[in-house]
Amino acid sequence: MKTKKRVLLAIEIATPLIIIVLWWAYTAFVLPVSSPFVTIYYPTPVVIAERFAEDFLSPEILVNGVPTLVRFLVGYGIAAVVGIVLGVIIGSSSAVRLLSMPVITFFRAMPAVVLIPIVTIFLGITDAQKILLIALASLWPILLNAIDGVRSLDFTIRESAISYRIKGFDRYRFVIVPAALPQIFAGLRAAVAVALIVVVVVELFGAGSGQGIGSYLATAKTGFEFAKLWAGILFLGIVGLIFNGIFLLVERRVLRWHHGRNAVEAS
């Protein structure tokens, strides 16, 4: 088992390294010979890394990256709190679920980017507008997974809570929420990708603000600065990778009991 894990880890590390080496060889040796003009559109990894260090590993990150991270974290945090709370409430009550699901289904099917003009009319091109759109977009995966997590509560656990007279807030704290956590975490992880996509879109829409990765990418596209464009894409990829890693670590710690039970059942 340990050998298998080491092999899988080696493959995970080697795959991106191989891609980078192939990209470097292609852009450094093949393209200049076959089509020198195309090399403008496909800078080498070295050029991209230099531009990335210049724009994101320096004080410039305060303009290019930090505003995006702040908007992402605030919008995502609002969506997480609202989605989990509403999901637990709606999932716990059949009456509330019947009343709310048509509305949830309607708004869930509506892309958040469609709301950009409407929200902009009321809030303008401001941080509040961007945060609200990020929160609205990333709310639905969290909310729906929380509802399903509560609804799928095992009958035996539900009956045990009634037998032990666990009521009120304690029932949610010790029974309902812990049992729904696996699906809640699945929704939280899915919402990260959605929030990252929307934060870039709304920043591109308000690129005139001059701050954030969306404005950075818009400037790179307008100025035909392709190394800068790839550096921005690299920044977004690294941010997504970091947050995914954080979620995996937190999930393994918080849901240790769940993974342990699955391992026992599988064996």
Tell me the average pLDDT across 6-13: 80
Q: Which residue has the tokens 């892309």?
A: 111
- Burial label, 148 (beta-carbon count in 10 A; 0-12, 13-18, 19+): middle
Residues of the chain with pLDDT > 70, as a percent, come to 87
CA–CA distance, 127 with 75 (Å, rounded to integer): 10
Q: Which residue has the tokens 């991209």?
A: 48
Q: Considering the entire predicted model, what is its pTM? A: 0.85
The one-character DSSP state at 230 is: H
Q: Do residues 23 and 43 lie in contact, with contact meaning Cβ atoms separated by under 8 Å?
A: no
Q: What is the pLDDT of residues 57-79, one digit of tens each?
A: 999 999 999 999 999 999 999 99
Q: Please name the fold of domain 43-266.
A: MetI-like fold (1.10.3720)
Q: Is the pLDDT of residue 198 over 60?
A: yes
- CATH 1.10.3720.10 maps onto the chain at 43-266
Q: Which residue has the tokens 């609202």?
A: 82
Tell me the average pLDDT across 214-225: 89
In this prediction, residue 259 carries a pLDDT of: 56
Q: What is the pLDDT of residues 138-159, one digit of tens each?
A: 999 999 999 999 888 776 767 6
Q: Is the pLDDT of residue 116 over 60?
A: yes
Q: Do residues 188 and 80 lie in contact, with contact meaning Cβ atoms separated by under 8 Å?
A: yes
77 or 223: which leads in pLDDT:
77
In this prediction, residue 105 carries a pLDDT of: 87
In this prediction, residue 266 carries a pLDDT of: 47
In this prediction, residue 155 carries a pLDDT of: 66
Report the chain's mean pLDDT, rounded to a whole number: 85
